[in-house]
Chain A
Amino acid sequence: MTGLLSSGWIRLRSVRSTWWCTAVYVVVAAGFGWLAAAGTPTSSRADVAVEVALTGFGFAQLALVVLGVLSVSAEFGTGSAVSALVAVPRRTSWLAATTAVVAGWAALLTALVALGCAVAARALIAVPGGVSPTDPVVLRELGLQVAGAVLVTVLGVGLGAVLRATAGGVGLGIALVFVLPPALAVAGSRWAERGSQALPALRVGQESFLAVDTTWPVGLAVTGAWAAGAWALGALLLERRDF
């Protein structure tokens, strides 16, 4: 497995799209977060202040959808998957290693940027008692952000494996996490609202601006189920298909 992970990391870092996605993710998440924190002079609670500073991730995570989809679809789109599957005929292991590497990269980036956002909230937003990075509610916000980023990336990998096409995977991924949740939210009916809550919205249910609000455990479970479902379907199809 070490060999497979090492191979996956070489594949990830040796294409330019990885670095473009990384740059977009970091710049958008940090930039929007700083702007939001700078525009909020005061807040009543530390977790709300941190949430404000994490706003940028709502848009930035689209870069993770693209990164996740590309990590598989680019290999198939270019035919590179044929050499990869000749070298690693255990296809589910290959997909698992690819997923672990790209999700690990997403987790690392998110942890660093989210921590930066928490520091910005502490510096820019006046909160009674201040914002302490070791405060459990602050840690929960940061942890949720990392978990959400990992799940959205895994969802992207799953969609990439199911569709094996970049355009289709990215399109469907963005529809699921970014277009449909708010579209259903504004549709207004009770069923549309339920539908919106059952979609893997960005920021695992905490995004009241872009989707119908849910509690974080529900949001995490919904996004987790979508990611696991897409990934399992992708692995199943990968095992079955001819290349």
Chain B
Amino acid sequence: MIELDGLTKVFGDRVAVDDLTVRVRPGRVTGFLGPNGSGKTTTMRCVLGLARPTAGTATVLGVPYRRLWRPLTRVGALVDPRARHPGRTAYAHLLALARSNGLSRARVTEVVDLVGLEAVAHDRVGGFSLGMGQRLGIAAALLGDPEVLLLDEPVNGLDPEGIRWVRELLRALAAEGRTVLVSSHLMSEMEDTADHLVVVGRGRLLADVPMAELLGASAAVRVRSPQAPLLAAALRRAGAAVTLELDGALRVEGMDPARVGDAAFATGVPVHELTRVVASLEAAYLELTGGEVEFRAGLP
């Protein structure tokens, strides 16, 4: 369980995190979404005691992180894939972390094998690719077999096989009853991984909803008929919002496919296509964060 209560962090005159109140519950993967610069990393740093909140509190397992005894055995974190000395070997990096929390050499070997870095464990990390760095960061997060995991952009730089591995790993960890918070700006990744979403923009909370609900909110029905104007009029009378799509089909919101079909039958118009359209997370997310991006690029 991770609890944020009115968490606020101000850097100079820039509000990075603005009055965030969220509970991240165990047993599911919570996706932490937001555009670049929306305060995800700052929030995680506050939770991990690296940054001091300007106002509000952040607690893990009921206490501020800095009061945890041997925190790696309670909370695992991946904050910055570059957070290591390039001259050290992967093994020495992990062993130093393990020893500081009373963990054994055997456990270091275990996590090295788990993330698939056996072959390069005794190489200096300065020569690692971004993907290998991410695996090393995940190994560090898993060292103490923690019940809470915070991972900031864990799939950044991973190849498709690595992305699938992280997704399955996160789902398995959550299924064991752990609290898993994983941030990303890649919606497509979250769609297959997260059960619950916390969406932020400019440091403010935009949504704290189950994945299905966010997707369902913008679900629609697509219907095609040679007598589209007639059908559209009937559907509008029944209370649906109807728009004409570019290919001549109708997009119906606020009505399920069965009722659309019934309406067509009652009106006596033929139906050539009737499909439920589930919005992509990408679209739902863009709708939410449209006005909240920090850096907006124009077209040339």
Complex alpha-carbon distance, A94 and B79, angstroms:
19
Kindly state the separation between the CA atoms of A243 and B92 in the bound complex, as whole angstroms.
23
A83 with B140: CB separation less than 8 A: yes
In the bound complex, CA of A161 to CA of B170 (Å): 36
Interface string of A79-90 (1 = CB under 8 A from B): 111111111111
Which residues in A have their C-beta under 8 angstroms from that of B95? 10
In the assembled complex, how far is the CB of residue A128 from the closest CB belonging to chain B, in whole angstroms? 51
Q: A79 contacts which of B65, B83, B96 (Cβ < 8 Å)? A: B83
B49 / chain A contacts, CB cutoff of 8 Å: 85-86, 89
B96 and A11 within 8 A (CB): yes
* Chain B residue, CB-CB nearest to A14: B92
Inter-chain pairs besides A14-B89, A90-B66, 20 sampled, C-beta below 8 Å: A7-B96, A10-B96, A11-B92, A14-B96, A74-B85, A79-B82, A80-B85, A80-B93, A82-B79, A83-B83, A84-B96, A84-B97, A85-B50, A86-B77, A87-B72, A87-B100, A88-B100, A89-B66, A243-B45, A243-B51
Question: Which residues of the other chain, A, contact B84 by a CB distance below 8 angstroms?
Answer: 78-80, 83
CB contacts under 8 Å to A, within B186-219, are none
Q: How far is the CB of A98 from chain B (nearest CB, A)?
A: 11
How many B residues, CB 8 Å from partner? 33
A residues less than 8 Å from B102 (CB atoms): 3
Q: Smallest CB–CB gap between B136 and chain A, Å?
A: 10
19 contacts between A and B (CB under 8 A): A6-B99, A7-B98, A7-B99, A8-B96, A10-B92, A10-B95, A11-B88, A14-B87, A14-B93, A78-B82, A79-B80, A79-B83, A80-B93, A83-B83, A85-B50, A86-B72, A86-B79, A87-B72, A88-B101
Q: Tell me, rounded to whole Å, the shortest Cβ–Cβ distance linking A187 to chain B.
A: 41
Determine whether the beta carbon of B71 is less than 8 Å from that of A89: yes
Most buried by B among A14, A81, A87: A87
CB-nearest residue of chain B relative to A82? B83
B interface vs A, CB < 8 Å?
45, 48-52, 65-66, 68, 71-72, 77, 79-80, 82-89, 92-93, 95-102, 140
Most chain-A Cβ atoms within 10 A of its Cβ — which of B98, B99, B101?
B99
A172 and B74 CA atoms in complex are apart in Å by: 40
In the complex, the answer to whether B51 meets A242 with C-beta atoms within 8 Å is yes
B89 contacts A86, C-beta separation under 8 Å = no
Residues of A within 8 A of B79 (CB): 82-83, 86
Please list the residues of chain A having a beta carbon within 8 angstroms of any beta carbon in chain B: 3-4, 6-8, 10-11, 14-17, 74-75, 78-90, 94, 242-243
Closest CB in chain A relative to B118 CB, distance in Å? 19
A97 to B26, CA, bound (A): 34
Bound Cα distance A59, B45 (Å): 42
A4 adjacent to B100 (CB under 8 Å): yes
Q: Which residues of B contact A86 (CB under 8 A)?
A: 48-50, 71-72, 77, 79
A242 touches B100 (CB 8 A): no
Question: Given the complex, which residues of B lie within 8 Å of A88, measured CB to CB?
Answer: 100-101
Q: A14 to B93, alpha carbons, bound, how many Å?
A: 8
A189–B93 Cα gap in the complex (Å)?
A: 52
B274 to chain A, nearest CB (A): 53
Q: Could you tell me the distance between the alpha carbons of A96 and B298 in the complex, rounded to whole angstroms? A: 51
Given contacts A3-B100, A86-B48, A87-B97, contact A16 B87 (CB under 8 A): yes
A152 and B234 alpha carbons, distance in the complex (Å): 88
| B52–chain A nearest beta-carbon distance, Å | 6
Residue in contact with B99 in the complex, picked from A10, A16, A81, CB distance below 8 Å: A10
A33 to B256, CA, bound (A): 91
In the complex, the answer to whether A75 meets B80 with C-beta atoms within 8 Å is: no
- A residues within 8 A CB of B65? 89
